Structure 1
Amino acid sequence: MSTEKIVRTVAGRLSLREPQTISLERLNTALESVPALRDSKARSQEELKAMQEALKAEFPKLTDFERDFPSLCFALATGVGKTRLMGAFISYLHAAYGYKHFFVLAPNLTIYDKLIRDFSDTTGPKYVFKGIADFAVEAPEVITGETYEQKGDLVSQAIDAPVQINIFNISKINSEVRGGKAPKIKRLSEYLGQSYFEYLAGLPDLVLIMDESHRYRASAGIRALNELKPLLGLELTATPFTEGTKGPVPFKNVVMDYPLALAIEDGFVKEPAVVTQQNFNPADHSAEQLERIKLMDGIRVHEETKVHLLTYAEQTGQKPVKPFMLVIARDTTHAAALLGTIEGLFDGQYKGKVIQVDSSKSGAEEEEMIRRLLLVESYTEPTEIVIHVNMLKEGWDVTNLYTIVPLRAANARTLIEQSIGRGLRLPYGRKTGVEVVDRLNIIAHDRFKEVIDEAGKGDSPIRLKELKLEPTDNNGSRLTSLSVPSNTSVMLGISGVKGSGADGAAIVSSGYGQGAGGSAQSPAVVFTGEERRIAMVAMDAVAELGKDRILVPTSTALGTTTVQEKLTQLVMERLVPQQGELLDTMASNAEAVAEVVKKSVEVFIDQTIDIPRITVVPVGPVKGGYRSFTLDVSRMNYQATDQQLLSQGLQSGRQLTYGEAAVIEESRLEDYIVRELINYDDVSYDDHADLIYELAGQAVAHFRSKQPDDAAVHNILGNHGRAIAENIHLQMAKHYEEDSAGSEVIVSQGFMPLKPCAFTAKDDVKPLHWTPDDKRTIGQYVYGGFQRCAFGFQKFHSDTERILATVLEREARRWFRPVSGQFNIYYRAGVNQPEYIPDFVVALDDITLMIETKKAKEVAEAQESETEVKAKADQAVIWCKNASDYAAKVGGKPWAYLLIPHDAVAPNVTLSALRARYEVVE
């Protein structure tokens, strides 16, 4: 297997992110283009210089190894995944070249312990070799700074293991060599007959991997380890520079540089935002006042973040994330004072929720501090605010840090680089698309402009967003996260509206509370006590019988005598008390149970809209592929590189070194592109040969029209074939289609329970006639007080939707705004199939409507061309047709899809007029 294929295999098995994959590819490029890197440990200074010169052709920025051995630095931003990349390096080097011995250096005890865990815990969530088949059979043997001295056969077995990974703490070695002493690792071992250091130095394939390598440049320990003379050094860091007297001094051996700005742009880490108040002037406040304002505003941001995270978890069914706030103190005395200040804020709301992390603790206090710090991500652990004094260094990898309040003096660049590192990791491993869930907030009232200016400089590691807060006042807005069940659940007493306020107070209500300017009407609660228990069991039985489409084709069928008897029977069976319980009189009375079941079903039928569960299943084999199209070559402007610089590396006339990579010369120009296209999993050569050669031919023709001869075109395609293929593949995605012998529509249920909603609400619940002064902010508010909605609360994305809701309240039998998973309608966007969630579902007496409102321009474009709006509408129309066909068979109501331009929605419009003009038909 070629080393390129090994790279792809390792990247796929470990699910590497793109920056990690590129790093692995660059290591492969280095080793393949300069064989001396992988062949021999006996190297003079002249040999090292020769290797550096050879690598410059591949990595122009590399000017010096900066070690007594070849060493390559991979600079990846914090949060991108350096530890997993180490696992990828080891997997690749073992598979490609058979290397067995690796020496991993950690900069401190925290990272040392973490590395041991990630390399040895095969069942852990962060095990670095998960997916590597060779290591699943026999895992690498991990030897640590504590275990290398083990006696007897243990150390021998470790040394004889197929792959051996030594993990050592450089800070421990540094402490051992102070005063000119030899580190313990160099002392004689009676079981080895030599020191462990001598054993390692004698290994022909030892690879040294340095985590956080910026910590080793001036280290006494690393000078001692130079004597190991490893075959190769691999350095990983997020900060590829050292601090000199005149500023940062960049590393000279960087072969991969993926800075924080790119990581933010690509969505691998949170996006930092610097926070201040609007119209804030720090000069108007004393130092003490400024500190208190920053703390209070930090808590404001923290509390709002809590609400948004809770809402996101409710909406998506994800595990809830508990955010915490980090306060950076000047010293231990300042930290202790801050602890008292914070616990006294907001009527003592944070008492017991703050920990002080610094060197002032010892004994049992220190153990408790560490315990709480390690559990800070746990949703059940109470800590919400951490105060620290320069102790939270690399290796403290939390994902739920969302707010930072720096109170220690520092210049803007230091504030940016040192403050945010611990807060960049995303709790869900990826960006959610919800800005507040994907954002790290830095409270910097006194440094706001300075930080913004620094972030805007060309050499800044990041770009910060600005977030301005309104000054606090007694009438300030508050946020509430609401979990809203359907009216059926509320009326039967099964569940009420639940919420968590931004002030931390829990809200639980069986009603719908008060709205601004009037009361929000709450459906009457039908059952309490034992009746409520029976109703709850009855709804479980309804959900179960609802899956029997023959017995219960529509919700109306629940009211028939046969189904009522079946429901009562199921409820009676499930009400049998457990051992030790007394049989309730009512629950033992079949007539009483039947009456509660009957009333429960009546409420369910009245408050629901029948939405069938529809699945479209292909009949026979399904073929997916791409249709022919004209390639857009307007952005393919690559130029031939200087042949003089690239002529060194010719091998037998077949292997050409072009620019960044060694490439195999193809006799047919199109083959440079085709060989890259067939590496994509969705491009089958057998099925798409004609198309990919046609597209490759269009690209070749484009370059031939701009170049004097075929030699120049060979040069371009040899250097840039992969990038050209990537561009072509992206264009192909827009022309993907599936073909099958047909499809079968399967309706597995005649109706489904309505899924609960989750909202973040600003201020009190608003009545439907209320509009904010700035209509663009309407999405921040929750509306209530409905008479005909299936839910007590709803949220609107635009004022158009709010106005349409007023029409629905006047004319509909029942309406609501669906959430994800209610319909399971999917549309095609390239090779992806996102879910489509319509704006409204509306039940009338004779028909059920699915309604979407869009800007008039978007509706017009959908009528003229293939847009995303049209793709959604096409699938919605198909769904409505299938639902109508089913309804016709079972005596239900037909469905129709309306795509309504925003300027057609008005308070005085009627649904019949909208349907007449904007119903979309096949």
Structure 2
Amino acid sequence: MRIPIDEELPLAREISIRLADDARAIESGEPCALLEAVTPTTAELLRWWFDASISAGRRDAFHEGQRDAILAIVYAHEVLGASTLRELYDRLAPGSLTPARRDELAHERHGHPKYAAKLATGTGKTWVMNALLVWQHLNHLAAPADPRFSSNFLVVAPGLIVYERLLDSFRGRRVDGVRDPRTSELHARRALFTPPRHERAIAALLASGVVEKHEIGLRVPVGGMIAVTNWHLLAGAEDPDFAGEAGEVWRGRRRGDDDPARAAVESMFPLSPGAAGHSLESLDRRAARGRPLESLIELSDLVVLNDEAHHVHALRSGQDTSDVEWQQSLTAIAATKGRRFVQLDFSATPYDEAGSGRRSHRRYFPHIVVDFDLHAAMQRGLVKAIALDRRVELAALPLDFTAERDEHGAVIGLSSGQRTMIRAGLSKLALLEAQFAAIDPERRPKLLIVTEDTIVSRHVEQFLLESERLDAEDVLRVDSGRRSELGPKEWEPIRARLFDLDRQARPRVVISVLMLREGFDVDSICVVVPLRSAGSGILLEQTIGRGLRLMWRGDPVVEELKRETRERMRRRLEPANHFDVLFVIEHPAFQAFYDELLGDGLLAIVGDEETAAIGDLERVELRPDWQE
């Protein structure tokens, strides 16, 4: 297991040291302290997942970063058994308890078991979530009284795109408008996640236990529940009355209301007679709106899995970490459960940004127990290599890459810098398309253009269609403004095209503002043109992250060429081929990010001279009589 260098992650550092020998022992099929310390069910699962002699014949396998995340959370929760985050620090890293950290850990949001996994974009955190769900459910079936385990799960997405992807994972993808359970990830990859004797138990949970967000509180499955929602629902952003009376009373206590009698009355009679709008219809509506949070509060046990968990906190004035609304709802849900509430957070960027400019710095979540960052993922070839396209025409541009605006600040068109960057991206895309098609016509590279705002995205679309003469079918604009313009019915076909991007020749270019900053899990983005000027570290990493997923997998010849690319980059040379290389058209806002990668030999800089995308690889057809 990789030992984190960052001193800000003391839990991850200590766990990596403690589990290094156990990870090797499990892989080689040898006994170890970890297997002795966990339940028989957990030991069976760890051997099934990571013992090389057992997993050798399987199509799928966990990589090192996924393994480290699963082992770290299992060890922290099952072996150490701390009931609060402060207890976990006492058992793992008491020397790191500075006065500031002690104050932070005393907050009620840390008063239950909680663990965060820092996993680079594109390294498969959904597989980790699925494995941990199987671990919890099977252990709960084996020992229902054990407070460490549960069969109730709340899976929280950062937005509708990730929400739909999670429903695909648990309930199956839509086929002709109906979800096909055979395509759910836990079923389709059951040979990876579940030992054969437990397949029926997981199949039963998937068949009856998956609950969509509009069903929470209306349907409570027997035998376990996987409730999937987006954080907006927990925050009341989609429905301001989502919390209902239970949440209001809890928030009243948080505000310090000094009238407990009033709070008690309001908990039973949320609406007073005679008040405006308090008809029977509105009472029914309020009761229905409050039901989701109340039903989650009433559960005896629950495991929350937060996907893209950098939404958990927000920095407010004075650089103090304050709860955002949906974290307040989680705290309300946890308050009734003690150690039977477990919070698992997953993010490539689990930190807040404090300050601005040169004084800005990252404040990592205090509960990070594993760190598998972008550097580690790139070194192991688990994500695309990154090449910075520095052309002569780009180097001559001014540093202002924003759109042209009038004296009132309204966007009136694209700047010359933006037009040049887009043309550079189109040129790189055309090269990749032509040469990849000669090797495998099913590999279709795409260009992603990330803009300042929805107004600019419309100008980019107009520029591509009118100035660059692209066909309308070649361009897909997916910003929130367009979704609002079209409405749900007209938006659905666009969403379907977006999610099917890898399998379709068109569109070739996707334009987005922020909708695709997370959860956009396609493999074919090979060129990124960032027209945004924001300097947010989280935003920069997420922009690059949209194109990091591998496009070329499984071909041993191509894998060797990719290893050659990584080796050349370590020697500060340009790649000799473009298999799984993500090209980023240069933007000054990314400079610090580039410099960090460049210092580790993980970034290539390419210029005007075009390298053959496929290197010296040639496709040789079989002779007609090859069988003889």
TM-score normalised by L of structure 2: 0.64
Which runs of structure 2 are paired with 1:488-887 in the superposition (5 Å)? 752=627
Which runs of structure 2 are paired with 1:27-46 in the superposition (5 Å)? 27-37=73-83
Displacement of 1:175: 2.5
State the one-letter code of the partner of 2:89: Q
Does the Cα contact within 8 Å between 2:447 and 2:527 map onto a contact in 1? yes
Does the Cα contact within 8 Å between 1:176 and 1:182 map onto a contact in 2? no
Q: Secondary structure at the match of 1:22?
A: helix
Displacement of 1:262: 0.6
Which runs of structure 2 are paired with 1:95-114 in the superposition (5 Å)? 95-98=138-141, 99-114=150-165
Which runs of structure 2 are paired with 1:288-303 in the superposition (5 Å)? 288-303=415-430
Larger Rg: 1
State the one-letter code of the partner of 1:26: A
Does the Cα contact within 8 Å between 1:6 and 1:95 map onto a contact in 2? no
State the match for 2:364 in structure 1. Answer: 250
Does the Cα contact within 8 Å between 1:399 and 1:427 map onto a contact in 2? yes
Displacement of 1:21: 1.3
Displacement of 1:185: 8.6
Q: Secondary structure at the match of 1:274?
A: strand
Displacement of 1:399: 0.9
* Equivalent-residue separation in structure 2 for 1:136 and 1:313 (angstroms): 39
State the one-letter code of the partner of 1:363: L
State the one-letter code of the partner of 1:227: A
State the match for 2:379 in structure 1. Answer: 265
1:9 and 2:62 equivalent? no
Distance 1:345 1:80, change over 3 A: same
Displacement of 1:145: 1.8
Q: Secondary structure at the match of 2:211?
A: strand
1:139 and 2:204 equivalent? yes
* Equivalent-residue separation in structure 1 for 2:540 and 2:246 (angstroms): 39
Q: Normalized per residue, which structure has more helix? A: 2
Distance 1:123 1:279, change over 3 A: same
Does the Cα contact within 8 Å between 2:310 and 2:350 map onto a contact in 1? yes
Q: Indicate which of 342, 345, 359 corresponds to 1:232.
A: 342
Distance 1:108 1:331, change over 3 A: closer
Q: Secondary structure at the match of 1:377?
A: helix
State the one-letter code of the partner of 1:95: L
1:466 and 2:505 equivalent? no
Q: Secondary structure at the match of 2:214?
A: coil
1:453 and 2:590 equivalent? no
1:358 and 2:460 equivalent? no
State the match for 2:111 in structure 1. Answer: 68
1:376 and 2:501 equivalent? yes
Which runs of structure 2 are paired with 1:139-288 in the superposition (5 Å)? 139-140=204-205, 141-150=209-218, 155=219, 158=221, 160-161=222-223, 163-175=224-236, 182-183=243-244, 197-217=293-313, 218-229=323-334, 230-245=340-355, 246-278=360-392, 281-283=395-397, 288=415
State the match for 1:528 in structure 2. Answer: none
Does the Cα contact within 8 Å between 2:242 and 2:292 map onto a contact in 1? no
Identity of aligned residues (%): 23
Q: Secondary structure at the match of 2:236?
A: helix
1:18 and 2:64 equivalent? yes
1:124 and 2:170 equivalent? no
State the match for 2:453 in structure 1. Answer: 331
Q: Residue deviations 1:61-100, cap 9 Å, x none?
A: 9976653322111111111111111110011123345432
* Equivalent-residue separation in structure 2 for 1:422 and 1:226 (angstroms): 31
* Equivalent-residue separation in structure 1 for 2:538 and 2:348 (angstroms): 14
Displacement of 1:386: 1.4
Does the Cα contact within 8 Å between 2:82 and 2:113 map onto a contact in 1? no
Distance 1:78 1:180, change over 3 A: same
* Equivalent-residue separation in structure 2 for 1:173 and 1:68 (angstroms): 19
State the match for 1:498 in structure 2. Answer: none
Q: Secondary structure at the match of 1:424?
A: coil
State the one-letter code of the partner of 1:337: H
Distance 1:212 1:48, change over 3 A: closer
Displacement of 1:281: 3.4
Q: Indicate which of 50, 58, 78 corresponds to 2:87.
A: 50
Displacement of 1:398: 1.1
State the one-letter code of the partner of 1:328: V
Displacement of 1:292: 2.8
Does the Cα contact within 8 Å between 1:273 and 1:439 map onto a contact in 2? yes
Distance 1:471 1:82, change over 3 A: closer
State the one-letter code of the partner of 2:91: A
Q: Residue deviations 1:269-313, cap 9 Å, x none?
A: 111111111586324899743333222221121112113422342
* Equivalent-residue separation in structure 2 for 1:35 and 1:390 (angstroms): 39
Unmatched tracts of structure 1, length 5 or more: 38-46, 315-319, 489-538, 544-750, 754-922
* Equivalent-residue separation in structure 1 for 2:520 and 2:613 (angstroms): 35
- Figure out how many residues of one structure are paired with residues of the other and give that number: 462
Does the Cα contact within 8 Å between 1:274 and 1:448 map onto a contact in 2? no
* Equivalent-residue separation in structure 2 for 1:50 and 1:280 (angstroms): 53
1:81 and 2:81 equivalent? no
Q: Indicate which of 402, 409, 412 corresponds to 2:533.
A: 409
Q: Secondary structure at the match of 2:345?
A: strand
Displacement of 1:329: 2.1
Q: Secondary structure at the match of 1:403?
A: strand
State the one-letter code of the partner of 2:333: L
Q: Secondary structure at the match of 2:89?
A: helix
State the match for 2:567 in structure 1. Answer: none
Q: Residue deviations 1:766-798, cap 9 Å, x none?
A: xxxxxxxxxxxxxxxxxxxxxxxxxxxxxxxxx
* Equivalent-residue separation in structure 2 for 1:286 and 1:50 (angstroms): 50
Does the Cα contact within 8 Å between 1:307 and 1:479 map onto a contact in 2? no
Does the Cα contact within 8 Å between 1:10 and 1:92 map onto a contact in 2? no
* Equivalent-residue separation in structure 2 for 1:385 and 1:184 (angstroms): 47
Distance 1:285 1:59, change over 3 A: closer
* Equivalent-residue separation in structure 2 for 1:478 and 1:262 (angstroms): 25
Q: Secondary structure at the match of 1:239?
A: coil
1:115 and 2:166 equivalent? yes
* Equivalent-residue separation in structure 1 for 2:461 and 2:615 (angstroms): 26
Displacement of 1:60: 9.5
* Equivalent-residue separation in structure 1 for 2:613 and 2:521 (angstroms): 34
Q: Which has the higher contact order (CA 8 A, sep 6+)?
A: 2
Distance 1:184 1:171, change over 3 A: farther
Unmatched tracts of structure 2, length 5 or more: 1-39, 142-149, 173-180, 248-266, 269-283, 314-322, 335-339, 402-414, 563-576
Q: Residue deviations 1:377-434, cap 9 Å, x none?
A: 2234x21011222221311211100001112223395674132111111124567334
1:305 and 2:366 equivalent? no
Q: Residue deviations 1:616-658, cap 9 Å, x none?
A: xxxxxxxxxxxxxxxxxxxxxxxxxxxxxxxxxxxxxxxxxxx
Distance 1:232 1:479, change over 3 A: closer
Q: Secondary structure at the match of 1:236?
A: strand
Distance 1:185 1:119, change over 3 A: farther
Displacement of 1:168: 2.3
* Equivalent-residue separation in structure 2 for 1:203 and 1:173 (angstroms): 16
* Equivalent-residue separation in structure 2 for 1:28 and 1:404 (angstroms): 37
Q: CA RMSD in A?
A: 4.1
Does the Cα contact within 8 Å between 1:170 and 1:221 map onto a contact in 2? yes
* Equivalent-residue separation in structure 1 for 2:615 and 2:65 (angstroms): 38
Does the Cα contact within 8 Å between 1:403 and 1:441 map onto a contact in 2? yes
State the one-letter code of the partner of 1:374: F
TM-score normalised by L of structure 1: 0.45
Displacement of 1:344: 4.0
